[in-house]
Amino acid sequence: MLLLLVATIGLVAGQEVHNVAFSAGLTHDQAILHAETVVYDRVFVNVGRAYNTRTGVFTCPTPGVYVFQFHSLTHLDKSTWLELYKNSAYMASIYGHTAADYASGGNSVVLNLVKGDTVYVKAVDNSYGIDTNLYGQPNEVYSTFSGYMIAPVFSEAPVVGK
């Protein structure tokens, strides 16, 4: 239904609409000591091919409003501290640590993007005293990064609230 609505809006505005959606997960343990971009290696879907499997970076192909979600799980007595960035600007964080168990975290944001904007998940540098340890196995994918367009934004159309 949503895709039909987006396609209809695009036809009315005289613009071609390209659907964009991706979801990727981590299939191996990863200890991150520096502020590095997390590269999620199992791609579940990559409609529009906007998620780069080599860099872990989503590059916006179509201007619009997008939803991004990121989740993680860490080992027993380890920590996870990840941040979501848009064009090198901080947007949101997740943090998890439990001394006696596994810890998880998750967050979601809605962003207005223009063509060429980048969105990615990055670990916080361990200079804060926290090493990020992500748990993952080929048959246990807990750390994920997903995004999808919920509405295109055309330059000719007025943006409400602007």
**161 within a domain of the structure (yes/no):** no
pLDDT under 70: residue ranges of the chain: 1-17, 155-162
**Domain contains 52:** yes
Of 3, 37, 25, the closest CA to residue 144 belongs to 25
Indicate which CATH number applies to the domain containing 120: 2.60.120.40
Bridge partners of residue 110, in order along the sequence:
67
Q: What is the pLDDT of residue 4?
A: 45
Determine, yes or no, domain membership for 127: yes
pLDDT at 76: 86
- Whether 34 is covered by a domain: the verdict is yes
Q: Is residue 80 part of a domain?
A: yes
Say what the pTM is: 0.85
| 2 occurs within a structural domain | no
Is 1 part of any domain? no
Q: What is the pLDDT of residue 14?
A: 61
pLDDT digits (tens, 9 = 90+) for 36-54: 999 999 999 999 999 999 9
Q: How many domains does the chain have?
A: 1
What is the span of the domain harbouring residue 123? 20-152
Long-range contacts of residues 36-45, Cβ cutoff 8 Å, at least 24 apart: 36/122, 36/123, 37/120, 37/121, 37/122, 38/82, 38/120, 38/121, 38/122, 38/123, 38/134, 38/143, 38/145, 40/143, 40/144, 40/145, 42/141, 45/21
Q: Judge whether 162 lies within some domain.
A: no
